Chains A and B, each alone.
Chain A
Amino acid sequence: EVQLVESGGGLVKPGGSLRLSCAASGITFSYMWMTWVRQAPGKGLEWVGRIKSKIDGGTTDYAAPVKGRFTISRDDSKNTLYLQMSSLKTEDTAVYYCSTLGYSVTRSYDDWGQGTLVTVSS
């Protein structure tokens, strides 16, 4: 059974930093492209960014609102995905989900954590 468990959320002041972690089990993590999606309270889903597997280059892509402030990384030896967030703004307040979300010719990838809440407030 696939499990993705996020941690590291909490209350942070505007301008502050926070690092989220996502521990994966039940999947061959090193092969997976991993994605962060966020959801502001009572709002819809927003793609934050993704990281490819190292075998596919390990590169990252980001949504415009977070580019230059957020960094996605991975430690395949620990089966863990990270989201380093800096220069946080109130509009970054959201539940952050890590996911394997992706689509191939023959299947979709649809594993999600339960999310971790980040609140940016003074």
Chain B
Amino acid sequence: DVVMTQSPDSLAVSLGERATINCKSSQSVSCSSDNKNCLAWLQQKPGQPPKVLIYWASTRESGVPDRFSGSGSGTDFTLTISSLQTEDVAVYYCQQYYNLPWTFGQGTKVEIK
């Protein structure tokens, strides 16, 4: 199985400041000849199911604010929230869909400082 490891486990960021979450896969999740990576970022707010923010490592889901961005390739990926808002308080998960079983990182809890 592809093991996904996120860092940090939690972070507290001031409103309007940048939040950065890292995700490392135990093997490359580069999945196509056109440099696509089978990596998604999901957001889960308390008491709610998860929601996809980013897929193909850097494609923002429709309706997701542009303060969310994804980058990286191969085994190392980053989710950046450029200017943290109150509504961004959540747990964020990276997830690979390179092969089965799909696997998630352990989650990163983002809070307001």
**Residue positions of A touching B, CB distance < 8 A:** 35, 37, 44-47, 61-64, 97, 99, 101-103, 107-108, 110, 112-115
Contacts and interface: CB of A to CB of B under 8 A. Distances in A.
A7 B100 CA distance: 26
A113 B52 contact: no
Q: What does DSSP make chain B's interface, helix, strand, loop or mixed? A: loop
B40 interface: yes
A63 B101 contact: yes
B56 A103 contact: yes
Nearest to B49: A112
B104 interface: yes
29 contacts: A35-B102, A44-B91, A44-B93, A44-B104, A44-B105, A44-B106, A45-B42, A45-B95, A47-B101, A47-B102, A47-B103, A47-B104, A61-B100, A64-B1, A97-B49, A97-B50, A99-B49, A103-B40, A103-B55, A103-B56, A103-B97, A107-B62, A108-B40, A108-B55, A110-B52, A110-B61, A112-B49, A112-B50, A113-B49
Interface string B96-113: 010011111111000000
B45 interface: no
Q: List the 6 closest A-B pairs by CB distance, nearest first.
A: A112-B49, A110-B52, A47-B102, A45-B104, A108-B55, A63-B101
Contacts of B40: 103, 108
B104 to A, nearest CB: 4
A110 B54 CA distance: 11
Contacts of A102: 97
Contacts of A110: 51-52, 61
Interface in B22-45: 38, 40, 42, 44
A47 B101 CA distance: 7
Nearest to B59: A108
B104 A46 contact: yes
A35 B103 CA distance: 13
Contacts of A44: 91, 93, 104-107
B104 A114 contact: no
B49 A108 contact: no
Nearest to B61: A108
A114 B97 contact: no
